[in-house]
């Protein structure tokens, strides 16, 4: 039992000495109670934010994707110097000028012609190969991400794609994008490059087979003609449904997309 004595020189420890066990225990208990009280006060301070209908729909859609689709991804680094130069030329001659996202949509659409299994919907018992090349693209809004669709993207000019995406982005951010404009895509492009993200693996939008994640265009060390030099480049990440395609399929598709990015002049006239 710890006895309490009157304060004296012997009761309180000198500087550098350890306090008697009874005093140390009381101090520890006081500190513990103080911390617990602070934690309780912090936990009691919060506010409720109800999920919007858009947020609920996003949650249900992505949960279905993660729970039902065996997803895997591959990634490659692509030299963007040709694309950067090509876009600079477009800015001088075209209005509206195509964004990098528009160029990506067009490049992917042309490649999808030769890879029908990536322009498809994966159903439980079969793969539905789509005739039209409709490419969805992710748009961030205050309510959450939306996925407008550019229909027949392989047959539209860059100017047409730029005008269409610009209009749909504006509608999406005003909360006026109709559901019909978000349907029918066989493949989706998600671009976080403008936010500065190097690389990421987006979630497949079911029932689609794949989605392409595009990072930020930044200087990277690359080997050109046997020399290591800095080139503006981008990481492309292809996420796929293993029920529909395998790694070799994805490697061939992503290599074709990378080739399209490095030869943007092929988009003209297509």
Active site residues: 242, 246
- Residue 143, CA distances (Å) to 47, 59, 172, 176, 194 in order: 18, 12, 9, 12, 19
Half-sphere CA count of 32, side-chain side, radius 13 A: 6
Length of the chain: 270
Contact 82, 102 (CB under 8 A): no
Report the candidate in 173, 122, 119 with the shortest Cα–Cα distance to residue 150: 119
- Residue 245, CA distances (Å) to 127, 130, 179, 256 in order: 10, 15, 29, 16
Contact 249, 111 (CB under 8 A): no
Gap between the Cα atoms of 146 and 208, Å rounded: 15
Neighbours of 50 (CB within 10 A): 6
């Amino acid at each position: 039992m710890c006895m309490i004595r009157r304060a004296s020189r012997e009761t309180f420890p000198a500087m550098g000495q350890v306090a008697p066990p009874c005093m140390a225990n009381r101090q520890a208990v006081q500190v513990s109670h103080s911390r617990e009280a602070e934690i309780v006060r912090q936990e009691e301070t919060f506010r409720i934010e109800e999920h919007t209908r858009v947020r609920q729909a996003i949650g249900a859609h992505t949960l279905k994707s993660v729970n039902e689709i065996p997803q895997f991804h591959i990634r490659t680094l692509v030299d963007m110097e040709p694309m950067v130069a090509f876009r600079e030329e477009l800015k001088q001659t075209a209005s509206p000028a195509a964004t990098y996202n528009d160029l990506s949509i067009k490049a992917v659409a042309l490649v999808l012609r030769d890879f029908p299994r990536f322009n498809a919907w994966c159903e439980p018992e079969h793969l539905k190969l789509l005739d039209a090349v409709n490419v969805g693209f992710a748009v961030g809004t205050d309510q959450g991400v939306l996925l407008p669709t550019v229909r027949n993207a392989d047959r539209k000019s860059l100017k047409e794609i730029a005008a269409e995406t610009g209009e749909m982005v504006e509608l999406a951010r005003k909360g006026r994008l109709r559901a019909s404009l978000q349907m029918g895509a066989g493949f989706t492009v998600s671009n976080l490059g403008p936010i500065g993200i190097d690389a990421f693996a987006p979630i497949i939008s079911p029932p689609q087979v794949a989605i392409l994640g595009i990072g930020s265009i930044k200087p990277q060390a690359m080997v050109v003609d046997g020399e290591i030099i800095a080139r503006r480049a981008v990481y492309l990440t292809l996420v796929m449904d293993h029920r529909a395609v395998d790694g070799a399929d994805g490697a061939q598709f992503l290599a074709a997309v990378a080739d399209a990015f490095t030869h943007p002049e092929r988009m003209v006239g297509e």
